[in-house]
């Protein structure tokens, strides 16, 4: 695979790249239905692994039908968990060649290098909600020197938002994935509405945006606008030490060994073998991580 890939060039230059119409109309319809059912379970407390309002980052409290999320939710965790009724639909999406061929192009690798990471769902919040400006795995307290050192390392991941409905919630500062914050960015408030150079990404239903998770970004979510956006990431095996905390803080290690890839059998046998390899490399990452790694961000 050539490093001259237009997708990779855009990702390296800007920190993100939008790919239109990744999903077929049929797949879009199927995933919308699965997402609707899953969101209903999450809002009722029947599915306990959710992103609760107003907390921005993990850990989020576990909910139950007798104690549903008090202030509502803005996301659903663990779409690949075999206990989720619609896990098969999400498993087929995550491990599809349509998705992973892009990942391999961006990571310049083969499927033997891929590591299963995260697949979650970002939904319409029960009340208007905003995320502060942040990088996913570098705290705001980092000095310019610490940021520069961390950003100089390979990303070792591909992260994406795949919209099931039109979505303009993600705001980024292009190029910020490759440099420390400017003095103006450091001085800005965490919910600054107008950051110099910011871009609001417009992704249509079926479109996907891949982005470096350490680009300076925030989210602005309206309770009046339908939102179901699949939020995933796949790692590279060489990035285990860098990626471990960012991935394992979401609790995936509690159920990863029970994953069910039977829906990838028969004509999908290649996808099933690839999925088993990706799952195995995630388990190995967890075992070699040295125990509790804590959380990347707070709040």
CA pair distance 250, 256, nearest whole angstrom? 12
d(CA 224, CA 126): 9
125-169 pLDDT, tens digit each: 999 999 999 998 899 999 999 999 999 988 889 999 999 999 999
Q: Residue 293: left if φ>0, alpha if ψ -120 to 50, beta else—which one?
A: alpha
Contacts of 3 (CB under 8 A, 6+ apart): 108
Mean pLDDT of 83-108: 96
Question: What band does 227 get if pLDDT is binned at 50, 70 and 90?
Answer: very high
Tell me the domains of the chain and their CATH numbers.
6-287 (2.60.120.620)
């Amino acid at each position: 695979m050539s490093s001259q890939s237009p997708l990779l060039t855009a990702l390296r230059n800007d920190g993100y790249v939008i790919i239109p119409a990744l999903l077929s109309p049929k797949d879009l319809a199927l995933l919308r239905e699965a997402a609707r059912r899953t969101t209903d379970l999450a809002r009722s407390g029947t599915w306990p692994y959710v992103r609760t309002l107003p907390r921005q980052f993990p850990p989020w409290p576990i909910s139950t039908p007798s104690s549903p999320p008090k202030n509502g939710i803005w996301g659903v965790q663990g779409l690949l968990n075999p206990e989720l009724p619609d896990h098969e639909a999400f498993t087929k999406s995550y491990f599809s060649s349509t998705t992973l061929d892009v990942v391999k192009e961006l990571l310049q690798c083969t499927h033997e290098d891929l590591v299963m990471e995260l697949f979650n769902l970002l939904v319409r919040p029960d009340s208007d909600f905003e995320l502060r400006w942040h990088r996913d795995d570098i705290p705001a307290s980092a000095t310019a020197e610490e940021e520069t050192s961390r950003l100089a390392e390979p990303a070792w991941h591909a992260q994406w938002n795949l919209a099931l409905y039109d979505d303009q919630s993600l705001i980024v500062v292009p190029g910020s994935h490759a440099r420390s914050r400017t003095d103006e960015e450091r001085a800005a408030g965490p919910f600054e509405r107008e950051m110099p150079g910011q871009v609001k990404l417009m992704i249509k239903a079926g479109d996907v945006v891949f982005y470096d998770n350490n680009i300076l970004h925030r989210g602005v979510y309206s309770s009046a606008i339908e939102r179901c956006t699949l939020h995933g990431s796949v790692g590279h095996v060489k990035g285990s030490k860098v990626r471990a905390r960012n991935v394992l803080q979401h609790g995936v290690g509690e159920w990863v060994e029970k994953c069910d890839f039977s829906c990838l059998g028969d004509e999908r046998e290649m996808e099933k073998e690839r999925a088993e390899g990706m799952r195995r490399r995630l388990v190995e990452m967890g075992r070699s991580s040295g125990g509790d790694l804590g959380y990347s961000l707070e709040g």
